[in-house]
């Protein structure tokens, strides 16, 4: 099996469609998006935390290892994840998987 990775991005609700579209242009085969509710940081910020919406979208993208950096960089750029409060993304190494198209 070819080496693959899982890219996970947690973004503000309503932002996932554009991020996924750009990730696909960068080589992603597809994505899974679901809704979630964030907690923790908002509460610690007090009054300032009121401007951060707790509703989030979680994006999961399985990518070939050699495409992971390009796709991840596009996710960060499109989602403006380098800016505080815009979201969070990370990459997992996948040891075993079944059903991934080549």
Predicted local confidence at residue 41, as pLDDT: 60
Euclidean distance between CA atoms 29 and 12, whole angstroms: 22
Predicted local confidence at residue 100, as pLDDT: 66
Name the residue among 28, 39, 22 with its Cα closest to residue 91: 28
Predicted local confidence at residue 84, as pLDDT: 80
Predicted local confidence at residue 16, as pLDDT: 97
> Domain extents for the chain?
4-94
Q: What is the pLDDT along the chain (102 residues), one digit of tens a residue?
A: 679 999 999 999 999 999 999 999 999 999 999 999 877 665 565 555 555 667 899 999 999 999 999 999 999 999 999 988 789 999 999 998 888 665
Tokens of 73: 């960089």
Predicted local confidence at residue 52, as pLDDT: 62
Predicted local confidence at residue 8, as pLDDT: 98
Tokens of 48: 């300032």
The helix/strand/coil state of 6 is: strand
Euclidean distance between CA atoms 42 and 39, whole angstroms: 6
Classify domain 4-94 by CATH number.
3.30.70.120
């Amino acid at each position: 099996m070819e080496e693959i990775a899982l890219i996970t991005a947690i973004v503000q609700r309503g932002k996932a469609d554009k991020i996924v579209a750009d990730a696909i242009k960068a080589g992603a085969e597809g994505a899974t998006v679901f809704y979630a509710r964030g907690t923790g940081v908002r509460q610690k910020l007090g009054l300032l935390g009121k401007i951060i919406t707790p509703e989030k979208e979680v994006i999961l993208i399985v990518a070939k290892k050699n495409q992971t950096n390009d796709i991840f960089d596009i996710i960060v750029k499109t989602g403006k994840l380098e800016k505080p409060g815009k979201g969070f993304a990370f990459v997992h190494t996948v040891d075993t998987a079944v059903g991934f198209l080549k």
